[in-house]
Amino acid sequence: MLQHVFNGLVGGSFLALVALGLAVIFGMLRVVNFAHGAIYMLGAFGALALTGEAFWAALVVVPVGLGLLGMVLERTVVNRLARLDPLYNFLLTFGLTLVLQDLVKWRYGVQSSPYPTPAGLGGSVDFGLFDFPAYRVFVLVVAAIVCFGVWFLLSRTRLGLIVRACTERPELSAALGVNVGRWVTPVFGFGVALAGLAGVLAAPMRAVHPLMGADLIIVVFAVVVIGGLGSIFGSVAAAFAIGVLQALSEAYLDSALVSQILVYVVMAAVLLWRPSGLFGREESPA
Amino acid sequence: MLHIEELSASYGEAKVLTSAGLSVAQGEVATLCGRNGAGKTTLLRCVMGLHPGSGKVSLNGTDLRGRKPFERARLGLGWVPDDRGAYATLTVAESLALPPMRSGWSLEQIYEAFPNLYARRGSMSTKLSGGEQQMLALARALRMGSRVLLCDEPTEGLSPLLVQRVGEILRQAKQQGIAVLLVEQNLHFAAEVADSYYLLASGRVQQTSPADKDLLTYLGV
Amino acid sequence: MRKIALLCGVALVAAGCGGGGPSTSGGGKLSDDKVVFGVLNDQSGVYAQLSGKNSIKAVELAIADYKAKYGDKAVAKNIVVEAADHQNKPDVANAKAAELYDRKAVDAILDVPTSSAALKVADVAKEKKKLYFNITAATMDLTGKSCNKYTFHYAYDTYMLANGTGKTVTDQGAKSWYLVYPDYLFGQDMTASFEAAVTKAGGKVVAKDPAPFPNASGDFSTYLLKAPNLNPKPDVLGTMQAGAELVALVKQYNEFKLREKGVGLAVGLMFLTDIHSLTPDALAGTTYTDAWYWNYDLRNREFADRFFQATGTRPTFAHAANYSAALQYLEAVQANGTDDADTIVKYLEGRTVEDVFLRSGKIRAEDHRVVHDAYLAKVRSSKEVKEPWDYVDVLKTIPAADAFRAPSADCKL
């Protein structure tokens, strides 16, 4: 039981990192970034491009590089959507996903690419009641540190204060003298970098292929909706909760269908009960 | 201080303001009346730059056209919105710290004037009572050192005691030379603080007075 | 006068469409004067590597061989390959198949991975009365309750895989099995076939778990955590996952060190490209059933070399089977001087065939199962790999007569 919960937390780590980036971006820009899954995939391929031995370097270089790419994308294309119908941001970011996927397919093919477990993390950690692959423990620790770091940044620094204010009520914050626009690009880049980090972490333990993000992002969207669109704490909490729920349902229920649709059932239930998600707030009227 | 000329704006397809104009001088409280849906809030939003409008808006002689909301705020517009502008993710203290300019009242002055806010400085803003939220919105604008307060129905839903308190604060601001553009339905309250009256109807603004029978019948008072 | 000429023309065209009119070309009785293959498969998704665009190359190799063999005497002078992507979706497969037969004048559809999609195409073939050689789908229903006159099941099926792997691994001493399968037609079919094969060989399935399909997170750790703690503890974990999901599962199998914990690994369906993705070390020692292996003998190798020149990779069994099906179809056209579907079906039924893919091959008349030798293979460790792509040792040949199940009573042609 305990090990399944633990395992669920590891699965939740990926959801949390990707969802966190998505929530930060949505909060700040009101853009639902469909390309987020493709960025996760790029993260894994970025790790691949740097080859296995350079895993530790990839852990830093790839997210930073993707973050910069994200900032360029925000400056060049995404910011043009700010005042348009949300349909356009769907079309753009979805199109971006296809372009990125096809670029990777073109370079690496559609098959899964091999990636070894990083040196030093191949063993197991003994927890007394059960042992667990060291790499998974590492993933959980990294995700926890990042989530805590983001939480600290957001709740204890002036930067966080501004980001929270802009995320929650961008218009009001502007009327109070905050230059919301100035923070948009770095926040977008930061959100993208988080997805990239999740991708690098996924490379050694999941199949690295061009569609890996497309599969994951649907679940992440459900997670973000459950947590409350734009709610940073909600997204992280929902990600870990869904991770654990999924692991337990796979372990103890005999129907794959249930574990497969579980996240959507939870989403539907939450939406019926609280239309703005567990930790979300109604958008204030203009 | 604040000067509005030939301001027009639409809300969707409907034209809400057609050539509206008014001015508020230093230390003056100007009350803007009008029926629900007349466009009072839209007018304030246009002044703040939150709603697109054509026409001239100037502050202290500075033309505000083409300036973004945050620039207008930094030039001295204080935003006290109708929903009281409380954040669910910011505590009272954080709300006061958010605006980048803090040239007005010191924190000590604020907490002295608003002891409730001091007592609840660690609470999330939206957890405050309606009256406390209103005080917070006013306190925030005063802390910013705004020269013109744009107050949208600050007394709505407040108890008589609190309405009185809002009045005291506005008078205090007025003494410090701050101009106030007050959107208000409560004429009794307006009578306590206002120096001038404007009626917004059919997209136009005309100066009036509380003794004006037309105004009273128009508002159904 | 002109009017009459026009009417004659119309009549001629109408007769031609009916298929009974006199042919105006000298080459033979071919519909539209050409033979058209339709390669319908997954061209960008999870199965794109194991068949995909390279299946088209394989068919082109068959066309080149046919032309080289018959030269001027070739009945089919104009041979065209049309390709379509069914994205592994049954409804897309259905629409694309109809489009290929009707609008692209396709005479025979080839390939079609994904069982549910493959069955849809069988229905279309039956309705349009056109040929369909399924290569890459595994479902037994193609030669069971969904069989029909125009559909041939060519390369492999779940019985072949289970009978080979399930029986052999059990015989080798792994008596208790834990089966994990993707929860859709293919996985359910495979699991039923494996359970039957294991039980028949004196083994027992102690547990079986359906995993979500498609598995959005690519994570199978729940089952891998569960495996060593089952009571009784299984000797072997049998996975029915395919493509990228198989890759993820094996990766995690190694991560959880199940081999060290005494739980072996048996793979239901594996393609050469999967081993390449995972690197042989991730799978070293794993036994599985292969329908064909490129370095089995010189004849296979020769084909594999040509394929490598055309594509840069070695062929999977699916590629070789696509080549074979196209070649056998063209031979049938040559022998009969026509591409009329009913004539070709009649010619193929019960026929003994032999080519680079089909060893001891026979096209059964009863259910249109194409039977041939299959192979039990074991993945080498990277130390044993002497040449790129040469990843397995063939342990034994399973004779055609034993490799496939007897014709099912469910199939009524």
Using left for φ > 0, alpha for ψ between -120 and 50, and beta otherwise, residue B85 falls in left
CB contact under 8 A, A135 and C255: yes
- Is residue B174's pLDDT more than 90? yes
User: Same domain, yes or no, for C334 and C237?
Assistant: no
Interface contact A11, partner C, CB < 8 A: yes
Question: Are the C-beta atoms of residues C106 and C129 closer than 8 Å to each other?
Answer: no
Which residue range is the domain that position C186 belongs to? 159-290+375-403
CA neighbours within 13 Å on the CB side: how many for A99?
A: 8
Residue-level pLDDT, tens digit, chain A, 286 residues? 788 898 899 999 999 999 999 988 887 888 888 899 999 999 999 998 886 568 888 999 999 999 999 999 999 988 887 777 878 888 898 999 999 998 988 888 766 777 777 877 878 888 877 788 899 999 999 999 999 999 899 889 999 999 889 878 889 999 999 998 888 899 999 999 999 999 999 988 888 888 888 878 988 999 999 998 777 888 999 999 999 998 888 888 877 777 778 888 999 999 898 888 887 765 433 3
Number of domains in chain C: 2
C354: its two tokens: 């032999």
Residue B122 within a domain: no
Q: How many residue contacts between A and B have a Cβ separation below 8 Å? A: 68
Residue C16 within a domain: no
Measured between CA atoms, how close is B187 to chain A, in angstroms? Answer: 26
- The tens digit of pLDDT for each residue in C354-363 reads 999 999 999 9
Measured between CA atoms, how close is C240 to chain A, in angstroms? Answer: 14
Kindly identify which residue of chain B lies nearest to residue A231, measuring between CA atoms: B89
Kind plus residue range of the DSSP H or E element containing A221: helix A212-227
Residue B38 within a domain: yes
- Least CB-CB distance to A177: which of B70, B83, B89? B70
Kindly identify which residue of chain A lies nearest to residue B68, measuring between CA atoms: A174
Top mean-pLDDT range of A155-159, B208-212, C27-31 = A155-159
Residue C84 within a domain: yes
- Is residue C176's pLDDT more than 70? yes
Distance, in Å, from the CA atom of C153 to the CA atom of C411, rounded to the nearest integer, reads: 13
Residue B162 within a domain: yes
Domains of chain A, start order: 2-273 (1.10.3470)
CATH number at residue C348: 3.40.50.2300
User: Same domain, yes or no, for C273 and C314?
Assistant: no
Among C153, C113, C122, CA closest to C273: C113
User: Same domain, yes or no, for C225 and C281?
Assistant: yes
The pLDDT of C343-348, averaged and rounded, is 96
Instruction: Give the relative orientation of helices C115-128 and C90-102 as an angle to the nearest 10 degrees.
Output: 30
Among C236, C273, C270, C274, CA closest to C253: C236
pLDDT at res. C64: 96
Question: Are the C-beta atoms of residues C373 and C398 closer than 8 Å to each other?
Answer: yes
User: Same domain, yes or no, for C269 and C180?
Assistant: yes
Return the partners of chain B (3 or more C-beta pairs < 8 Å): A
Residue B61 within a domain: yes
pLDDT at res. A207: 82
- Predicted interface score ipTM higher than 0.95: no
User: Same domain, yes or no, for C285 and C346?
Assistant: no
Residue C15 within a domain: no
Measured between CA atoms, how close is C234 to chain A, in angstroms? Answer: 16
User: Same domain, yes or no, for C192 and C311?
Assistant: no
Break chain B down into helix, strand, coil percent, rounded to 5: 35, 30, 35
Residue B172 within a domain: yes
User: Same domain, yes or no, for C329 and C379?
Assistant: no
- Least CB-CB distance to C217: which of A216, A251, A257? A216
Residue B94 within a domain: no
- Is residue B2's pLDDT more than 80? yes
Question: Are the C-beta atoms of residues C55 and C322 closer than 8 Å to each other?
Answer: yes
User: Same domain, yes or no, for C280 and C183?
Assistant: yes
- The tens digit of pLDDT for each residue in B113-146 reads 999 999 999 999 999 999 999 999 999 999 999 9
Distance, in Å, from the CA atom of A53 to the CA atom of A115, rounded to the nearest integer, reads: 10
- Is residue C27's pLDDT more than 60? no
Is it the case that chain A and chain C have 3 or more CB pairs lying under 8 Å apart? yes
Give residue C28's pLDDT band: very low, low, confident or very high (50, 70, 90).
Answer: low
The pLDDT of C17-34, averaged and rounded, is 55
Q: How many residue contacts between A and C have a Cβ separation below 8 Å? A: 116
CB contact under 8 A, B100 and A178: yes
Number of H helices, E strands in chain B: 9, 10
| Neighbour-count burial for C35-66, b at 16+ CB within 10 Å, e otherwise | bbbbbbbbbbbbbbbbbbbbbbbbbbbbbebb
Give residue C347's pLDDT band: very low, low, confident or very high (50, 70, 90).
Answer: very high
User: Same domain, yes or no, for C246 and C380?
Assistant: yes
CATH number at residue B157: 3.40.50.300
Number of domains in chain B: 1
Residue B134 within a domain: no
Burial class (CB in 10 A: 0-12, 13-18, 19+), C230: middle
C252: its two tokens: 């995690």
Burial class (CB in 10 A: 0-12, 13-18, 19+), C290: buried
Interface contact A216, partner C, CB < 8 A: yes
Q: What is the three-class DSSP state of A132?
A: strand
pLDDT at res. A282: 54
Least confident of A22-31, C297-306, C344-353: A22-31
- The tens digit of pLDDT for each residue in A3-53 reads 889 889 999 999 999 999 998 888 788 888 889 999 999 999 999 888 656
Chain C interface, Cβ < 8 Å to A: 44-46, 48-49, 52, 182-183, 209-219, 221-223, 225-226, 243-245, 247-248, 251-252, 254-257, 273-274, 276-279, 282
pLDDT at res. A106: 83
The dihedral through the CA atoms of A112, A113, A114, A115 has a sign that is: negative
- Least CB-CB distance to A175: which of B79, B87, B94? B79
Which residue range is the domain that position B180 belongs to? 2-81+141-219
Residue listed under structure tokens 């992440």: A220
User: Same domain, yes or no, for C40 and C122?
Assistant: yes
What's phi and psi for C140, nearest 5 deg? Answer: -75, -15
Residue C388 within a domain: yes
The pLDDT of B178-203, averaged and rounded, is 90
Contacts of B102 in chain A (CB under 8 A): none
User: Same domain, yes or no, for C218 and C274?
Assistant: yes
Contacts of B48 in chain A (CB under 8 A): 175
Residue B119 within a domain: no
